[in-house]
Structures are given as structure tokens and as C-alpha cells.
Amino acid sequence: MSHRIKKSGILIDRTKPKNFTFNGKKFRGFQGDTLASALLANGQVLMGRSFKYHRPRGVVASGAEEPNALMNMGQGARFEPNQRATTTELFDGLVARSQNHWPSLEFDIGAINNRLPKFFPAGFYYKTFMYPRWAWKHLFEPIIRKSAGLGTAPQQPDADRYEYFYAYVDVLIIGGGSAGLTAAIEAGKTGAKVLLVEQTPHLGGRAPVDGFGIDAQLNTLKNMKNVIIRTRTMGAGVYDHGYALAYERITDHAPNSDQPRHRLWRIRAKRIVTATGAIERTLNFSGNDIPGVMLASAVRDYVSLWGVSPGKSTVIVTNNDDAYRTAITLFNSGQTVAAILDARPMGGGALANQARDLGIRILNGKAIKKVTGHKTVASVVICDQSDETSDTETIICDCVAMSGGWSPVVHLWSHCGGKLNWDAKNAMFSPDPNRPPTGHDGQGFVISAGAAAGALGHDAGIQNAVSAGRQAAVEAGFSASKTIASIAASTPESPMLAVWSMPQNASYALRLKTWLDFQNDVKVSDVQLAAREGYESVEHTKRYTTLGMATDQGKLSNINGLAVLADSLNAEIPAVGTTTFRPPYTPISIGSIAGEARGALFKPTRKSPIDAWQDANHAVWEPVADWRRPYAYRQSGETTQQAVTREINATRNSLGLLDASTLGKILVKGPDAGNFLDLVYTNMMSTLKQGRCRYGLMCNENGFLFDDGVVVRTGEQEFLCHTTSGGSDRVHAWMEEWLQTEWWDLQVFTANITEQFAQIAVVGPNARKVLEKLGGLDVSNETLPFMGYTEGRLAGIWARPYRISFSGELSFEIAMPANQGQEMWDKLLEAGAEFNITPYGTEALHVMRAEKGFIMIGDETDGTVIPQDLNLGWAVSKKKTDFLGKRAQQRSHMVDPNRKQLVGLYTLNPDYVLPDCAHAVENGKIIGHVSSSYFSPTLNCSIAMALITGGAGRMGKVLDFVIDGKTVQAKVVDPVFYDKEGARQNV
Amino acid sequence: MSEFKRKSTDGEIEISQPDFTGMVTLRADLANSETIINIERIIGLKLPEKRKLIGDLSHGMAWMSPDELLVFCADPAAMAAQLNAGLSGAFLVADVSHARAVFLLQGDGVREVLAKGAPVDLSPEVFLPDDFRRTRMGQVAVAFWMSGQSPDSFGLICFASVQEFMFDWLVTASKKGSLPHYL
Amino acid sequence: MLLLTCPYCGVTAEETEFHGGGEAHIKRFAGGSDDAEFTGYLFEKKNPRGVVFERWRHVYGCGKWFHAARCSATLEIFGTYSAQTVKPSEAVISVIQARRPDWQVKP
């Protein structure tokens, strides 16, 4: 059983106990423990159940690569599933629960799957759930959904806060092991600005475990002001042009702190050094997933760093020298090493001799045939690596430390296209320095260092990192010394032996229980089956078997999986290739990706100058592009629909008030302003007289209508162009685009002055009376006729009323400086009280414009509609030789008389309002759709606008609309429902 | 009228929004020597260099683009009138005092607060006094500048319709204990 | 994420400050053009693998449109230059020729 050792434990502070619970049970660890080390210290080897077969699982690794020990962490608003116990720092009050079992970790009904492994081979789901068709929805999916997934989803909104931080450096170093520290020193010496990020809370990586001190390096770095080190910060991804993301976990170990929980560093570096180390591989033998079977390096880490021994008696199985270090470490800590099984016939080198000298039993050429035990290792059965049927021996033990060799962590090198070489000697992929990811200047911008570069072993890694650090700084524009002292490896090692199957020709029965991908429960037999079924591409095999597709992205399993596939296909490993490495290196929180953008800061809401009053006066908000606008103002006891009706009736009968501040306003000025507007509007604008307004349409080069609004000529060379509320930025950008990129010879300047003005529409038969009451401006029909404007002081405030109408009523749209909008609004309310002045919202606006047959961009237009379709041909100049969209509107399809055209509709049942987008159906074919539909209080019936094929020729015809399987009939009429002559607005 | 529309003093930096700042947009060909002479004469300041601010909020000019300046002044209507009268050829003058919101940011952590939202190198050796940078702060288009007088004092402008959002964002980004202490 | 230098304000900034505007140096056909010319202008874009000329706007900056010469395969930027031109600048052509000796200027 795993237990705490009396001595050792570089990272823990035994004077600072920490209390935590696991599955409700109380445990105690120390400051510096990870959750995994603390659980092992308490004898808790079983940490979870596997994904597919619900097999008992324990911790395999000691770091980010851990596939098994995933936890439901925290509670309530601080709950998060799938957290790796190996990278979770222990703190007082930590609450963790194991995952993937029911009803309990110790007794799991789902483990029945484990008895039927033949029923769950690769592709099982694809093959099984095809027929009968109905069963997917009603039978299979509900069951699979219930059993799928690892942890459980959080039930409450996240209580924490997250943020971004942008940083700019000459050299970014990812990884704070001895190679990263060395590279930082070398780059730092040149004066380059260096940022080093390390995912764990401590520096040095595995160096201290193997007795290599880092104090000297840390002292050197302490004095370098240009080198900054951030621990608990993982290099998550490397992207184009020197961009990198780093994920800082600020409060995961101190959850009640007031700081942001995670900070996502968005780093732009001239050069990036990936000093990400290497990860040990598992060995493929039967029962290699039983709790107590661990990586040899992890066993050594637990002993050295946290003073925990994963077992009382450990068998070590290896194909390389490094695992002997684990044996020696265990022995020196007073633990029992039952045997070392070295798959190499000739065994190991100097380290093996050291172990032998300590009296440890070493068996060369031997393999684990199988591990026995259920919830923990009971024994190993050994045989010759070359022959499964050779004489066997059973060794009683409770821990197996395995080493299948090492794989450089090439993820960050590869994220942005760095290529790999196959290193046959070490049976691993390592970065090809001649094919790095390239940056904006075409030069490589990532340099790998240390074990991540394939320089395994401490001394080789240091030597490699010196040159990597210097290279990075030099390429970032600094100068460094060129001489590098050669360091001879202190402990020469014997070559490793590639072992992809243990024993070499393991039988099917053994392979059925030999795990490649622990987290996704993929076995050697699954990959072999995929190969037999014709999957030759590694990317296809990965998807078919789910190898490497779990949250660990196959950090332990990928190379073994490739090797098994290559072997099955009779191909070389480099010919099979690797799967694509994608960021992030380990999962990062969704919160960190969102950053500040959550809750009220999720997205900027644009607010009008009169917004506060509206909010206080029961506005029912509606988003209009990025603005919020009142849909209606609901008085107490009213429904929203009743409010809309009241607002319309008040406006049509007496006086309404609309906040139209959100309308876009673009100033266009210059000697060529008129000519320019002739090009961007379909109408002729250059002929507009000063002081007058004209409704204009804008089309794109495809001829399609995209914005409309009233253009006002405010001077000989100056126009003010109104746009839709959502269109101001788009139209301004559109004008600038044409001025800058096509017609740069035109002398025109534009400015988007939308927000300089508040704009209030005073609408209704009593509109003029209320303005006269405010006083200061002559607003008579003679001085200020329809489609004219005037300016001056109205009630003492500078104002410019335009005689324009979007409701069909007598209407003044008054512009004034935005900061005085509220003051004017208040004065209008006061003066208009005797006329029952009624603020109205966007829905009343919509109904009234529809009653008048006015189109709305986004309702009657959808990016395929030309002005002619909307009976707006009158606003399309025939005189002009060019305007944007003109040529397209001459294309054959655009002049087809059978295009969809705008019509009005009266439903035969006047109370029934057609839904928006309802389809008109004729002879089983769709011939058009409803673009707007409302109940009109003015006409006391339902009205609609629709785009119907050949609509102009269908006046008076009855069309069928199919709504939820039932047919609703409506008659085609003129889309101007109310006051066609315009008598009401022209008074 | 109060001196400030909004103010926050309990975070890592002090954030305040002056009640009014006169601002006039001037668009003209800033490479034209006659135009330069006229602008400098009317404003009484040298034309700012590319991406620089000259003067201050009561009397200054910021470089917005090769053909756009933002003029800071006490009386924007008068300023606009003077510019309209004094310039010739193609140009555009518009009072934008109400269209934009100004924030004053003060404190040791200003650079780090800005670096949480703007993809700009704000390190002291790179972002210098009187530098004026148009960029984005999170999702909001902004311009910010470093005061020539004090290294801990920055100004920021954004569109008026998002001023509440901008203020809330700045308050959140400058909450106590949230500085990375990197710059 | 690309780094681009705006030739108008001189800022070198990340892609999020910019807005891409598609293929550059397209001749506009309008009134009087035949269907083939107009269709070519409106719909037929080259999109080659390798050297491309593009339009970009410094939207979260000085607001100016400019041109960029870029490699669509490696994302290398050869240079950025004025929007007020109907063809790539000599300077950017020589950079491309130096880095892509096989590349030919096509009409």
C-alpha cells in the first residue's frame, strides 16, 4: 500500500498540515503536496474508474500527462470536473470526488462492461447503433448520454473572475526545468527581455529529483532584471508570428483569494524557446492499467519530491537505464525493490551496476507477462521478453514502476507547424531544428531546448539549452558569446531498446488487457483491429479507436499507439507519422478564454443619451445591433402588446415621442461630396438643394440593398447622411473603403458623428403645437415644409428639426447635442402633457411604418433583395452612368419580372397575425415569405408585408401560407395600408 | 454640474471621467504645408508627430491618422468655427465633444490595467510620454495616451455610447489585488 | 495570429486590430462593361497557394486601408504598402523576388 516515507520530500513542508476530503472522507496532507501525492500518502491508490469499462484506476504519472486521476473538484459555484490530481496543489478545505462510477468508487455497476470487453472493440458504437433506426433516439442515445463523459457538469455559474494580459518580449521560454533556466540565463546575459513560464509552482523540473541542484541558476537569474519568471503558468499554445498563450493559475491553490482565478497571457515574442522536457512512456503489458502500475519516473518523483512511496514492494520494468534511478531512489529511501526486469537481453550500464551493487535483484531479458490484482496490484507474472511461453515466475508486489523510454514534449514546437524527426536510437520523435515554425519574416521563431529538443539526460540537456538560449537572443537582435564549453555526460547510459509489446509476441488474450490509452480505454487489440479493418492513416485510426482523443490528448499513449499501428501495417513508425498536436497543451478553463467578457462585460451595449430615463420608465429592452432600445414602455397592469397598442393610438391621435438617437449620422464634406454620394446612393444626391432632405438607398456591388436613410444637404459641399441604427459603422466604413481604395482622387472627407447628437422624433397631429409651445423656432409648414429642416434654439437648446416621417404622421426629428438630449426630452414631456404625449418604442415604430408600407432594412431585405423588388425603383436613378450596384442590377436575373416582389397581405381572418417568415405555397412550391407582420391597431386588423414571386401581378389573389401543417389564407394587396396619399404627414 | 461623470478610487488605479472635454475632429491633408501653417496658427500648437499628442486636454492635438487630428479645447463650437473660417481647400471639421467619452487613469498600475485589454506593448521603455495609440480595449475601440507630465497618468477616449461599459470594464480590470506586477 | 505593419500610422500590431478585405488590385468594372468582365470583377478571385496580394484595413487604429503581400502557405509577410495604387510597389516586388526566386509577376 502507498504510504508517506519518514524522510525525503523536497517540496513538502511537514510543519504545515492541510486537511481535505476525498469522496467525503477526511484526509490530511502537507503544504506542497499535490492532491495525488496526498492521496497516495494516505494509502488511497484507487482514484477513479475508466471511461468505457469502468475499470479501477490509480494515478500513473506525477504531472500534466496524468490520464487517470481526474477529479470532480470543488463545490457549488467553484465546482469543476476533470481536474488532474497530479497538478492540483493541496490546500486546506479542498474537496475532491472521483469520477465515472455509480454508485461508488469501490463498487461500480458500470464495471459490468469490463466483463464484456469483446462487446466493446474499436468502432463498437459505429457498428452497433445503426439499426433499427428508431432505436438511436429512443434507446441507445439516452443510455449512452447517461454513461458518457467523465466528470459531471457544474450546476452553478462560476463564482470566479478571469482576465487577459498582453505581454511583449524578445524571448519567451516555456518550461522552468534546468534547460529552461539555462536558456533564460543565456538569453538574459545578452540583455534581451526574457519571460520564462513554468506550469508547476516550483522550478527545476525533474533536475532536483535526480540530484541536480538549481540554486546557482536561480541566484544568477535573481540578479537579471530583464528576465521575469512566472510559475503556475503553463505555455498553452504557440501560434503564428510569435504569438503564444500562457495560462496562469493564480488562485486554484487559494480559492478564497480576491484575485482573478486564471489569467490568460497573450504573449508576442520575437523568439520562443520550448524547454518543455520529456514524458516517460508506458510499457504495453497485460494489466498495465491496474492501480499501482505507474511510470518509473513518477514513482521516483513521489518519493523524492513529496516523500511518498506508491508501494511497499515495487517491481521495476524497463527498456532503458533511467528506470534504475527509480530503483536506487526507492532503495535509498528504505523501500523494497522486489526486482528490476530489464527487457534488454544485455541489460543496462553504469546505473544497473550501481543498483546491482546495492543488492537489488536484476533480471535481464525479462518481461511482465501480466499483472494480477483488481483494485490494486497483487503480483506480476514474468517471462522472457522474447517468449511468452517461457518459464514463468510470480513476484508478489503492490507497485509496478514501468519505463518504456522517453518522448520529448514536442507539442508546443509542433502547434504552429514545426516538423519532427524520428530518432531511432531513442525510439522517439524530436524537433527538426531545420524545419521550425516560421514567422512573419519567414524565419523560424521556435527553438527547442534540453530534453524537449531530444537531448535526453541532464548534461546533454544543459549543453543544448545554452545554445538554444543564445540562439534565441541572437535571432531576436542581441549578441551573445559563441563559445560553448562541451560537457561530458556524467553517467553514460546503455542504449535503450524499443519495446512496443511485452512480451514480444503477446497472445490475443494478453493484448485484450493491454492498455494504450488509459483515459479513453483503448487497448493494443483495438488498434490492431483498426489496422485489420483497413485504417492506414494514423488520423483515421485515432478517430476510429479514440486513441489520444481524451482530455490528456494521448500524452502517454500516442507513440505506443503509433508503434502498434506501424507494426500492424508492417510499416516504419516515421512512415505512419504522428497525429496533429493542437493547443492547448493541457485543458484550460473556459473562464480564462472568456477573460473579462462575462456578465455585464460580456459584450458592450451601446446606450443612447436618454437611456437612463428609459430604464427608469419601464422600457422593455430590445437589442438593435449593438444598441439597446425600448421595444415599448410598459405601464403598470399592461401587457407589452397593450403598451404597443396604446403607444400607436396616442401617436396617431395626438402626440408620440421616439428616441431616434441611434440612427447613424455621417458627415460627408468636400468639393466632390455630391459626386461621391451619387456613386454610393442609388439616387441622385448632387441635385439635392441646401436645406432639403432626401430618402436614399445604398446597394453593394451585387446590386443588393443594404442600408437606407435620409440624406440632408447642410452646405454647398456638406451632406449629413442618416443610416439605420445598426448600419452607422458599416456605412461609414463602406464610404471610407471606396474613398481610400477606388476613388482616392475625389476630394471628400467623412466623419461618423452618430453619437454627437441625440435625436428625438416628435410625431403626431399635435407635433407642431408642442414645438411652438417650446418656442424659439418657426416650424410652420411654410418655413419648414415636408423634407426640409431648420436650425436654431428650441426651448433654449441648439436644435435642428428635420421634417421627415417614418410613421406617416406630421413629424419632426430633432437633433441636438447628445448631452442635452435628456433635457430636451424632459421639456417635450412637460410641454406635451396637455396632448397626452406618449413615448413609444421600436415596436410601435415598426407597426406604424408597416401600416405605411415603409420597408425596414433587415426585415424586407436579406442580402438578396434589390430596390426594384421593393417597389423602390423610383429611388434608383436612371440618369446616372454609375453607382454602386447599378451594373449588377442590369444582370439578367435582376431584371426578371418573376423575381420576388414586395406586396401587402390581409389575412382572411383579420385577427390572425401571420408569423414572420411564413412561407407562401403554390402547387406544392414555395413562392415567397412574409417579411413583416403585425396587428395594426390603426386599421384594427392583421397586416403583413411579403416578398412573393411575381407579386406585382398577383394583386387581389389569395395565397396559401402553411403554418404548422395548417393552411392560412391571405389576400395580396398594395403594401401601403394607410394614408396612401400622404395627407397626414404633409400638413 | 459635478466635476466628474464617474469616478472610482477603490481599485488599484483611480479612474475618473471629466464631465466635459471639448473635442473637435479635423480632417485635412496633413502633408499640405499651407494646411499645416493654418492649423498651427489657429490652434497655437505645433502639429503633433505621428501617433503623438501635443498639449493637453484643455489645449492640445492628437494625431489620429495621416489626415485626421483630434483637437482638445475648452470651447469646441468656437474652435470649430475658427477652423472652418481659417482653413481652405478640402477639409472637414466636426464637434465630437458629445460623441466621445474621456477617462483619466492614475496610479502605478495603469500600464498593467491597460495591458489587460489592449494588444499593445505598454512596457515603460516602449510606450513613452505623449504617445497616443488608437487600438481596442477588449471589444471597445479606444485611443489612449500617456501624459507627458507624469508616468502614472494616462488618458483614454472611447465612443460615448459605450462609456458605461468602458467604465465598468476599467473598474473590473483594476480591482484590488489583480495586477500581475509584470511591467 | 498575424502581425501586420500599417504603412499609414507605422504601427506593427496583431491581426485583431485589422480587418481583411480580400484580394487586392482588382479592376472595377461598372456601367458599360460586358457580362464576362463584370462577372470576372465580381466573382472570380485567384486565391493561389503562395504569394498573394491582399487588402487590409487598420480598423482598430488609424482606419486606413492598405495592401499587404503575403504567402498564403507560410503566412510570411513580404511587405505592406499604400492602398492608393493599382499594382504592387516595386519595393515589395523585389522583396518577394528575393525570398521566392521562382515566383513570377503575373499580369
CATH of the domain at B60: 3.30.70.1520
| Helix/strand/coil for B136 | strand
Is B47 in the same domain as B110?
no
Q: What is the pLDDT of residues A705-725, one digit of tens each?
A: 999 999 999 999 999 999 999
Range of the domain at B61: 22-95
Residue A870: CA atoms inside 13 Å, Cβ hemisphere, count? 27
Q: What's the pLDDT at A140?
A: 73
∠ Cα A712 A715 A721 (to 5°): 30
Task: Give per-residue burial for A939-955: e unless 16+ CB within 10 Å, then b.
Answer: eebbbbbbbbbebeebe
For residue B129, give the nearest of B145, B109, B111 by alpha carbon: B145
With CB atoms and an 8 Å threshold, state whether C9 touches B135.
no
For A563, counting Cβ atoms within 10 Å of its Cβ (0-12 exposed, 13-18 middle, 19+ buried), the class is buried
> What are residue A694's DSSP bridge partners?
A711
What is the C-alpha to C-alpha distance for residues B97 and B78, in angstroms, rounded to an integer? 12
Q: Give the whole-angstrom CA distance, residue A821 versus residue A814.
A: 10
Q: CA distances (Å), A535 to each of A255, A488, A527, A719, in order?
A: 47, 45, 9, 67
pLDDT digits (tens, 9 = 90+) for A832-889: 999 999 999 999 999 999 999 999 999 999 999 999 999 999 999 999 999 999 999 9
Q: What is the pLDDT of residue B150?
A: 77
Q: C3-99: which CATH topology?
A: Folate-binding fold (3.30.2270)
- Residue among A94, A110, A174 nearest A143 (CA): A110
Q: Is residue B181 part of a domain?
A: no
* A74/A169 same-domain check: no
**If contacts are CB pairs under 8 Å, which of residues 747-766 in chain A contact chain B?**
747-751, 753-757
Rounded Cα gap, residues A445 and A172, in angstroms: 10
Mean pLDDT of A463-481: 96
Sign of the CA dihedral A178, A180, A182, A184?
negative
**Mean pLDDT over each residue of chain A, to the nearest integer:** 94
Q: Spell out which residues of chain B touch residue C10, defining contact as CB-CB under 8 Å.
A: 50-51
In a shared domain, residues A166 and A269: yes
Q: Is the confidence at residue A130, as pLDDT, over 90?
A: no
Which of A825, A831, A781, A780 has the alpha carbon at shortest distance from A799? A825
If asked whether residues B62 and B89 sit together in one domain, one would say: yes
The amino acid at residue A835 is F
Residues of A in Cβ contact (< 8 Å) with B118: 166
Q: A182 with A255, same domain?
A: yes
The C-alpha cell 537531448 sits at: A455
Mutate to test the interface with A, among C5, C11, C14 (most CBs of A within 10 A): C14
- Identify the pLDDT of residue A125: 67
Looking at A112, A137, A171, the residue that finishes a domain is A112
- Where is pLDDT greater, at A50 or A820? A820
Cβ-defined contact of B64 to C16 (cutoff 8 Å): no
d(CA A837, CA A824): 14
Tell me the three cell numbers of residue B32.
Answer: 499640405
Portion of chain A with pLDDT greater than 70, in percent: 97
Number of domains, chain A: 3
Report if residue B178 sits inside a domain: no
Contact A334, A353 (CB under 8 A): no
Name which of C8, C10, C16 is nearest B119 (Cβ-Cβ): C16
Q: What is the identity of the amino acid at B175? A: K
- Of A869, A939, A859, nearest to A907 (Cα)? A939
Q: Can you list the positions of beta strands (E) in A319-431?
A: 336-342, 362-364, 366-373, 377-384, 393-396, 399-403, 406-408, 420-423, 428-431
In this structure, are A266 and A196 located in the same domain? yes
Residues B104, B14 within the same domain: yes
Residue B56 domain-assigned? yes
In this prediction, residue A276 carries a pLDDT of 98
What cell was used for A370?
501480466
Strand order in the sheet with A377-384: A366-373, A377-384, A393-396
**A403 against A538, higher pLDDT:** A403
Residue A308 is predicted with a pLDDT of: 98
Which residues of chain C have a Cβ shorter than 8 Å from any chain B Cβ?
8-11, 13-14, 16-17, 60-64
Nearest to B27 by CA among A618, C51, A673: A673
- Please report where in the chains the cell 499587404 appears, as a residue: C68
**Per the domain annotation, does A945 fall within a domain?**
yes
- The reported pLDDT for the residue numbered A150 is 78
* Separation CA A667–CA A677 (nearest Å): 11
Residue C107 has pLDDT above 60, yes or no: no
- Å from B3 to nearest chain C CA? 30
Q: Are residues A241 and A169 in the same domain?
A: yes
In chain B, the number of structural domains is 2
Residue type, A139: L
Q: Under 8 Å CB-to-CB from A833, ≥6 apart: which residues?
A: none
A225-269 pLDDT, tens per residue? 999 999 999 999 999 999 999 999 999 999 888 899 999 999 999
Read off the pLDDT of each residue in A585-597 and give the average, rounded to a whole number: 96
Instruction: Name residues whose C-beta falls within 8 Å of residue B147's C-beta, 6 or more positions apart in sequence.
Output: B56, B129, B130, B153, B154, B155
Strand arrangement of the beta sheet that strand C77-82 belongs to? C19-23, C51-57, C65-71, C77-82
d(CA A428, CA A440): 30
Q: Which of A248, A268, A596 sits opposite B169 (nearest CB)?
A: A596
Average pLDDT of the segment spanning C85-103: 95
Residue A923 domain flag: yes
Residue A632: inside a domain: no
Q: What is the CATH number of the domain that holds A937?
A: 2.40.30.110
Residue-by-residue DSSP string for A153-210: PP-S-----EEEEEEEEEEEEE--BHHHHHHHHHHHHTT--EEEE-SSSSSBTTTGGG
**Which of A112, A147, A181 marks a domain boundary?**
A112
Instruction: Indicate if the pLDDT at residue A351 is higher than 80.
Output: yes
Residue in this structure with the C-alpha cell 522486489, named with its chain if needed: A338
Last residue of a domain, one of B69, B95, B121: B95
Domain residue extents for chain C:
3-99
Q: What is the separation of C-alpha B31 from the centre of its chain, rounded to a whole number of angstroms?
A: 22
DSSP class of residue A435?
S
Instruction: Tally C-beta pairs within 8 A across A and B.
Output: 124
Cα A306 vs. chain centroid, distance in angstroms? 35
Does the residue A457 lie in any domain? yes
Residue A396 bridge partners (DSSP): A379
Q: Kindly state whether residue A947 falls inside one of the protein's structural domains.
A: yes
Out of B67, B95, B123, pick the residue that ends a domain: B95
The residue-averaged pLDDT of A493-513 equals: 93
The pLDDT value recorded for residue B1 is: 41
Locate cell 527538426: which residue?
A432
The DSSP-derived string for A500-531 is: SSSSTT--HHHHTT-EEETTTTEEHHHHHHHH
Residues A928 and A986 in one domain: yes
ω into residue A503 within 30 of 0, thus cis?
Answer: yes
**Domain boundary pick from B78, B95, B112:** B95
Is B136 within 8 Å of C16 when comparing Cβ atoms? Answer: yes
A117 CB-near residues (< 8 Å, 6+ apart): A53, A512, A513, A523
Amino acid at the residue A637: G
Is the Cβ–Cβ distance between A838 and A650 less than 8 Å?
A: yes
The sheet with strand B22-28 has its strands ordered as B53-56, B59-65, B68-73, B22-28, B91-95
Full-model pTM: 0.95
Residues of B in contact with C16 (CB under 8 A): 119, 136
- SS3 (DSSP) at A91: coil
pLDDT reading at A471 higher than 90: yes
Contact partners for chain C, using 3 or more CB pairs closer than 8 A, are A, B
Cell for C70?
503575403
pLDDT at site A128: 67
The CATH number for B150's domain is 3.30.1360.120
Nearest alpha carbon to residue A722 among A743, A742, A752: A752
From the candidates C4, C17, C57, C58, which should be mutated to test the interface with B, based on the most B CB atoms within 10 A?
A: C17
Give the residue with greater pLDDT, A109 vs A773.
A773
User: pLDDT tens digits, chain B, 183 residues: what are they?
Assistant: 457 899 999 999 999 999 999 999 999 999 999 999 999 999 999 999 999 999 999 999 999 999 999 999 999 999 999 999 999 999 999 999 999 999 999 999 999 999 999 999 999 999 999 999 999 999 999 999 998 777 789 999 999 999 999 999 999 999 999 999 998
Residue A674 neighbours by CB under 8 Å, 6+ apart:
A685, A686, A688, A717, A719
DSSP structure string for A295-320: EHHHHHHHHHHH-EES-SEEEEEESS
Give the structural domain span for A214.
162-278+408-475
Reading the block at residue A605, the C-alpha cell is: 451595449
| Same structural domain, B48 and B85 | yes
**Which DSSP string do the residues of A483-506 spell out, in sequence order?**
-------SS--PPP---SSSSTT-
Per residue in A617-649, pLDDT (tens digit) is 999 999 999 999 999 999 999 999 999 999 999
Within a 10 A sphere around the Cβ of A302, how many other Cβ atoms?
Answer: 28
What's the CA gap between A191 and A188, in Å, rounded?
A: 5
Stretch A687-693: mean pLDDT? 97
Last residue of a domain, one of A71, A95, A112: A112
Same domain, B88 and B114: no
Whether B12 and B41 share a structural domain: no
pLDDT for B85 equals 97
Closest to A804 (Cα-Cα) out of A792, A815, A812, A814: A812
Can you read off the three cell numbers belonging to residue A316? 521495476
- Maximum CA pair distance of chain A? 115
Are β-strands A336-342 and A313-318 bridged in parallel, bridged antiparallel, or unpaired? parallel
pLDDT at A35 over 60: yes
Residues in chain A whose Cβ is within 8 Å of chain C: 239-243, 268, 438-442, 701-702, 733, 736-737, 740-742, 744, 881-882, 886-888, 891
Confidence class for position A338, pLDDT limits 50, 70, 90: very high
How far is residue C37's CA from residue A330's CA, in Å, rounded to a whole number? Answer: 80
Residue B182 lies in a domain: no
| CA pair distance A748, B28, nearest whole angstrom | 9
Which three-class secondary structure state does DSSP give residue A55? coil
Burial class, A219, CB count within 10 angstroms (exposed 0-12 / middle 13-18 / buried 19+): exposed
pLDDT digits (tens, 9 = 90+) for A923-964: 999 999 999 999 999 999 999 999 999 998 999 999 999 999
Count of positions (residues) in chain C: 107
Same domain, B41 and B73: yes
Give the pLDDT band of residue A135 (cuts 50, 70, 90): confident
